[in-house]
Structure formats: structure tokens, C-alpha cells
DNA sequence: GATCACTATGAAAGCGTTTACATCACGGAG
DNA sequence: CTCCGTGATGTAAACGCTTTCATAGTGATC
């Protein structure tokens, strides 16, 4: 019987002389079938190379063992660490990840969410809380557990990182060592509440000391090293020149560092530079980068744990919140303000 | 009728006074239904908030609009650029990506592949050709188009990057500028044909000039900056000390660069360092890193194009191969051998 | 006016599972 | 010896969609 189709439950049932229901049980609830029958079925299944069809299983059971994840980009060092850990946790529990990215475009995000929901994911992981009303509607209609990363709202489980605090710490550090004129290079603030919160944190720290963060001292840039350089160049042209620069993402700070060095400006003696994220390379640069550590990998682990609990029904309570700490990492790219 | 279930085709059919078949056609082949009927159906569908259930669609049609991707890691700069572009291309064509990573563990890879296949992906993208026999069996049984990235075998479509050539170019460059004693820091060679090929390329370039690559001059490391530092440290202890080091991944080379600088060894005057990959940061370091450019983003784009062609039946011919060029990028971390 | 091709629609059979519900055999309780 | 609970298995109805095939209606053709 050389059929060239994949074998189905039916085939196994016929070959093993059991009913299709018994075979189904043998696959998913083996404790319900007699050991002897079970073994016979398993032997046949192995011989035929039977692999359960999850699409059918998903349709019948309403569970797809699939988690949808939507992130802004896949190739940022931060998100990719988070993803890596998330994938590890979910895979260990039999779940696959459907991953989409939207590159900070609201329409793409809505589309991605809609697609994932229509694919029937069992759970959803999203970054940030702020989003287009249409996207919110999609999430609402999805009727599956949702975990928000980074920033969250009270109506869903969330793993938050205090971005405001991260900005605050970075600015506080610089103010503490005498800086009064601080420039900021940040990502585009539209559709990005992580970046917005960091900038607000910086503002708060400055205002506490009676300083203000003028709009002109903020350079909005894409989140790349080159953009960091460009932002740095802009800020350095201002008079009086800032004595310190905060990049609200390490990539930006690193770009700024390179740009300053390229122009012969001594870091940290003539210019202090601080970042936020603590990416791998930050510790190795010279001078090593002062930054605020964001536990990116942990975010992934915790988010997976939270979602798995919901899926298993172990947590039916109100929306949980796991707030991960951010910590200042003072290295050698910052120093007391000159003069 | 406030049912709290998601509306189905049936609901739309009832409300719009058409049959379920017509509604189905209105959704997926609108040209087959009369404009007037179509509009009525669309109006009802919109009012009910109907979203097609792709699980059911997949089961009935045999197409899931889902592509499985298995990569070693998600958080490498190289793979994540590839993924980003791939995701972009597929999303533009209505496909979602099921992404898994195995962290260079053969068993995990087999498991991931099996899961993806059982999920019923329409196509599969894998990295490299060499894999465990069990994994090959899974691929064979999958009966879906497969695209191999980086290294490929003749039985599948593939987007290759000549890793051998990349290694060759890097070594050739160093030999050309007078280096005779070259150390190599590479990733673990087991289960990683990209790394193996790069090392072999280096070996070939050296042997062409009558040089040999002693096993002792190769340091196998994980693919991280810290590991690059460690590898560099090991190599620097050898006597005579190598005058040049190749990191077969930029992260390794960057680590080596930092380590050398940390030890007060002038790069490139006392020690030349070259990498392979051309990651973003390479151009910005000081000295900027001499490396071999690997078109990571292109790999994603091309792979998606290849797979989409197969899925659309536009290409039913023999396995295609797209070989992307690698190019030497000489910067300032390499210089003529001292003496 | 009968025939034909064609279009728009409907009825119904799957797709491969899961899962009530029914059945049956068996053994212990009364 | 009958009754009933129990455990193993089977039957069949979903799950929500696609798709084949049949049907009815519409003009055009001879």
C-alpha cells in the first residue's frame, strides 16, 4: 500500500486494529489506554512514521501550541536576546513561536497582530502598551492571554523594565559628577514608549536639580551606531557645547563615542558619554561604556513563565506584573565635568 | 444574539442570506462572486467582526501560510539581520514565520524541525547542510520546499555564501602583506559547517604559499566577544607569537582586538587582526576592523524569494542555487608584518 | 424555440483531529 | 444470581473552512 501521503490517525487505527479514538488517546492521553494496546499502537505508529497533524489537532481542540510574538525589530541586540530566551523557554514546554516584526510602523503592527490572532495562537507577547486603537481592538478580540514587555498597562500580565528609572539613573549619575549641560540622543519617540520613558526619566532627573532639558538638546535618531554618530555631531555643534551626552540606547551612545573620538574629543575628559541597555560590547570598548543595565534575557524568561502559567490555568487571578530592576553600571566613558 | 464566540463563516452566511460556500468564496476568491452579493457579505462580515480562522483554512486547503525557520541562535548579529529581512519579505506576501533556534545542539535541531513539520508549515528554511541523519529524515518526510542558507547540498534550493572563500580572502590578505605566522580564533567546528569552511579556506590560502595551519594555532571558542578575548590571550602566549590573528566571526575578532589593546599590543603595528562578517560595529572601531563582508540581509531576501517562487509553483525545476559574493573589506586593523 | 456555453450559487463531502457519549466486559456487592 | 460501578474501547459529531459537483438562471446561436 505505497500511498505517498503522510499517514494519519486513520491509517494507524486500521493497521493496529484499534479505533481511531483509541489511537488518538494513545497519542495524547496514554494513561487511558491499556498498556498492551498502547504498545501495539505505538509500534504501528513508529513503523508508519506517523506524526500527528497539529493543524487538525488545533482545529479540533482549540489549542495550537503556538505563541505569537510581535517585536519592533529582530536585529536589535536587546530584542534578540529577549527572543532567544523566550524561544528557549517555550520550546522546552512544547510551544512554537510565531514571530513578527513591524519596524516601528503602527499599521504593520496591527496587521501582524491580526494575522497572528487569525492563525489561532494560544497566547500573545507584545512589546509596549501604547498602540493604535485598531491594534487594541484586535488584541481585545483575540481572547487569548497576553503578556506585555517593557511597558505595560494594568489590564494584562506584564514584564516591565523601568525605562523612566533607567533614564533617571543615567542623568542622575552625570549630574552627580557635575554636568550641567547634557545632550540626549534618543530613538524616534513616536510609537515607542520605551524611548519616551527614558527621555522623560532624564528630564525628571535634571529638573530635580533645577536644570531643564531643552528640545534642542535632544536629537532623535534611528537606533543604529551610525545614527548615534550623526546625533553626536549635531549636539557637538551647539554652543555652549554639552559636557555630557546620554544615548538612550547603547547603540546610540556607542556611535556618539566613536564620533567624539574621531573628532579628537577626549572621552571622558572633555566629554562624558553614557548609554542605556548594557549590550555585550559596551564593557569592552575603550573607554568602556557607562550604561544602565537592562536585563533583556530575563525579560524573555519571565514573560514565558508568566504566559505558561496562564495557559496552564495556574494563574487565573488579576493581571500580574513583574518589574525587573535596572542598575547603573559606571565604567570609564563618564567623568567629572571639566572646569 | 450575543454569543461570545468568534463569528464563523456560518454566522456570516446566515446573517447575509448566502450560503457558506459563497461567503467562503467572497473571502478568498472575490472575483467569483457577484459584486452585489460580495458587498452584502463584506458588510455583514465587517459588522460581525469576522476574521477567517486560519487553522481551519489550513486544514481544509492544505496550506498554512506559515514558513518554518530554524537557526542556530536568534541573538547573533548575522542571523538576526537575515531573519529581519526574511520576515519582511514573507510578511509582505502574507506568510508568517515560525522561528526556532537550537543553539548548535543537534538534538534540539531535530526536535525543532519535527515540531515545525508537524505544525504543517508550507516551507522550511534551515541553516547549513550537514545535520544528523534523524533530522535529514524529518526533512525528507516533510514534503515541503526547503531552502538552505549559507551552506547547501545539491538536493535543495539554497542561498550560499562562500565561507571557504571568505576564510581564503582573509588569510590571503594577511599573507600578501607579509604575515607568516597567523593564529585563528574560530567557533566550535562540530555541527557548524560555516565555521569549518572558513577555517578550511584559511588553511587553503596558507598552504598555497607553503605555510601550514597548525592545530595549536587554532583556538575554538563560543561566538562571543569575551570568547574572542580568551582566544586571543591563548594565541598570544605562543612562541613565536603570531603576527596576525583571524577571527572567523567578527565578534571573535573584535574580542581579540580589545584584548590586544588591553595588553598594550599595538594593532595593527604589532599585531594584525582580521574578521569575517562585517557587522555594523566593525567599521566604527578604532582601528576599524579589516573583515570580509557577508551579505547577511541579502541572504534573507534571496531565501524568501526562492521559497516564494516554489510555493507559487513558478519554479518546478531542479534545485536552484544563489551564490552571494563575499568581499574583502580592508580597513585599519591589519598592516604589513613587522620586521 | 431548442441547444449550448457560461456564470453565480448552493449542497455536501472532506481535511485529521478531539471528545462527548454509548457500549461492553468484568468483578464485587448485595 | 442480579445489579451496578468501572475501565477500556468504539461511534460519531463536531472544529471552521475549502472545494467538487450539481443546479439554476441568462443570453447567444442556429
* B169-183 per-position pLDDT tens digit: 999 999 999 999 999
What pLDDT score does A262 carry? 95
Structure confidence at residue B6 as a pLDDT band (50, 70, 90): confident
Closest CA of chain B from A264, distance in Å:
12
Output the average pLDDT for chain B.
94
Cell of B210: 607553503
Query: Does residue B5 register a pLDDT over 80?
Result: no
Q: What share of chain B is helix, strand, coil (3-state, %, to 5)?
A: 45, 15, 35
Write the pLDDT tens digit of every residue in A172-224.
Answer: 999 999 999 999 999 999 989 999 999 999 999 999 999 999 999 999 999 99
Taking an 8 Å cut-off on Cβ atoms, the answer to whether B80 and A101 are in contact is no
Structure confidence at residue A3 as a pLDDT band (50, 70, 90): very low
What pLDDT score does A4 carry? 57
- On whether the CB atoms of residues A44 and A12 are closer than 8 A, the answer is yes
Structure confidence at residue A1 as a pLDDT band (50, 70, 90): very low
- Give the pLDDT mean for B234-253: 97
Taking an 8 Å cut-off on Cβ atoms, the answer to whether B55 and A58 are in contact is yes
Structure confidence at residue A141 as a pLDDT band (50, 70, 90): confident
Query: Does residue B166 register a pLDDT over 50?
Result: yes
Q: Which of A6-20, A217-231, A309-323 has the highest mean pLDDT?
A: A217-231
Contacts with B250 from chain A: Cβ below 8 Å:
none
What pLDDT score does B109 carry? 94
Query: Does residue A5 register a pLDDT over 80?
Result: no
Query: Does residue A110 register a pLDDT over 90?
Result: yes
Contacts with A262 from chain B: Cβ below 8 Å:
286
Asked if residue A53 keeps its beta carbon closer than 7 A to nucleic acid strand D, the reply is no
- E strand intervals along B198-312: 218-221, 244-247, 272-274, 291-293
Contact positions of strand D to protein Cβ (< 7 A): 7-12, 14-20
Q: What is the DSSP string of A237-288?
A: TSSSPPSEEEESSHHHHHHHHHHHHHTT--TTTT-EEE-SB--GGGGTSSSP
Closest CA of chain A from B164, distance in Å:
26
Query: Does residue B339 register a pLDDT over 80?
Result: no
What pLDDT score does A328 carry? 98
Lowest mean pLDDT among A172-186, B37-51, B266-280: B37-51
What pLDDT score does B3 carry? 43
Beta-strand relationship, A157-161 and A321-324: parallel
What pLDDT score does B141 carry? 87
Query: Does residue B1 register a pLDDT over 50?
Result: no
Nucleotide nearest the Cα atom of A25 (by C1'): C18
Question: What is the spatial distance between Cα A262 and Cα B62, in angstroms, rounded to a whole number?
Answer: 57
How far: A20 CA to C28 C1' (Å)?
32
Question: What is the spatial distance between Cα A200 and Cα A204, in angstroms, rounded to a whole number?
Answer: 6
What pLDDT score does A310 carry? 94
Q: How many Cα atoms sit within 13 Å of A34 on the Cβ side?
A: 4
Write the pLDDT tens digit of every residue in B97-116.
Answer: 999 999 999 999 999 999 99
Write the pLDDT tens digit of every residue in B126-151.
Answer: 999 888 899 998 898 888 999 999 99
Cell of B10: 456560518
Sign of the CA dihedral with A74 first, then A79, A83, and A85 last: positive
Sign of the CA dihedral with A137 first, then A72, A333, and A215 last: negative
Query: Does residue A6 register a pLDDT over 80?
Result: yes
- On whether the CB atoms of residues A300 and A254 are closer than 8 A, the answer is no
Tell me the Cα Rg of chain B.
26
Closest CA of chain A from B99, distance in Å:
6
Task: Determine the longest span between alpha carbons in chain A, in angstroms.
Answer: 90
Output the average pLDDT for chain A.
94
What pLDDT score does B4 carry? 57
Backbone angles phi, psi at B315, to 5 degrees: -135, 110
Amino acid at each position: 500500500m505505497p500511498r505517498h501521503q503522510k499517514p494519519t490517525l486513520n491509517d494507524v487505527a486500521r493497521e493496529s486494529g484499534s479505533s481511531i479514538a483509541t489511537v488518538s488517546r494513545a497519542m495524547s492521553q496514554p494513561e487511558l489506554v491499556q498498556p498492551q494496546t498502547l504498545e501495539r499502537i505505538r509500534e504501528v505508529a513508529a513503523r508508519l512514521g506517523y506524526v500527528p497533524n497539529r493543524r487538525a489537532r488545533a482545529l479540533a481542540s482549540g489549542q495550537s501550541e503556538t505563541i505569537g510574538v510581535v517585536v519592533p525589530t529582530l536585529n536589535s541586540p536587546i530584542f534578540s536576546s529577549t527572543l532567544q530566551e523566550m524561544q528557549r523557554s517555550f520550546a522546552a514546554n512544547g510551544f512554537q513561536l510565531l514571530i513578527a516584526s513591524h519596524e516601528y510602523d503602527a499599521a504593520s503592527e496591527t496587521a501582524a497582530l491580526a494575522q497572528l490572532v487569525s492563525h489561532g495562537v494560544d497566547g500573545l507577547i507584545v512589546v509596549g502598551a501604547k498602540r493604535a486603537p485598531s491594534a487594541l481592538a484586535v488584541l481585545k478580540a483575540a481572547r487569548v492571554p497576553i503578556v506585555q514587555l517593557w511597558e505595560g498597562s494594568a489590564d494584562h500580565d506584564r514584564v516591565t523594565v523601568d525605562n523612566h528609572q533607567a533614564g533617571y539613573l543615567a542623568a542622575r549619575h552625570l549630574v552627580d559628577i557635575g554636568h550641567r549641560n547634557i545632550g540626549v540622543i534618543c530613538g524616534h519617540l513616536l510609537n515607542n514608549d520605551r524611548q519616551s520613558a527614558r527621555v522623560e526619566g532624564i528630564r525628571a532627573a535634571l529638573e530635580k536639580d533645577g536644570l531643564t532639558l531643552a528640545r534642542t538638546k535632544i536629537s532623535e535618531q534611528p537606533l543604529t551606531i551610525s545614527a548615534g554618530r550623526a546625533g553626536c555631531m549635531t549636539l557637538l555643534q551647539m554652543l555652549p557645547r554639552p559636557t555630557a551626552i546620554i544615548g538612550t540606547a547603547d547603540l546610540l551612545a556607542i556611535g556618539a563615542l566613536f564620533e567624539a573620538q574621531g573628532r579628537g574629543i577626549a572621552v571622558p575628559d572633555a566629554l562624558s558619554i553614557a548609554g542605556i541597555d548594557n549590550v555585550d560590547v559596551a564593557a569592552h570598548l575603550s573607554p568602556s561604556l557607562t550604561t544602565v543595565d537592562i536585563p533583556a534575557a530575563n525579560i524573555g524568561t519571565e514573560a514565558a513563565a508568566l504566559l505558561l502559567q496562564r495557559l496552564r490555568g495556574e494563574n487565573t487571578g488579576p493581571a500580574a506584573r513583574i518589574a525587573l530592576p535596572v542598575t547603573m553600571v559606571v565604567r570609564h566613558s563618564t567623568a567629572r565635568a571639566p572646569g
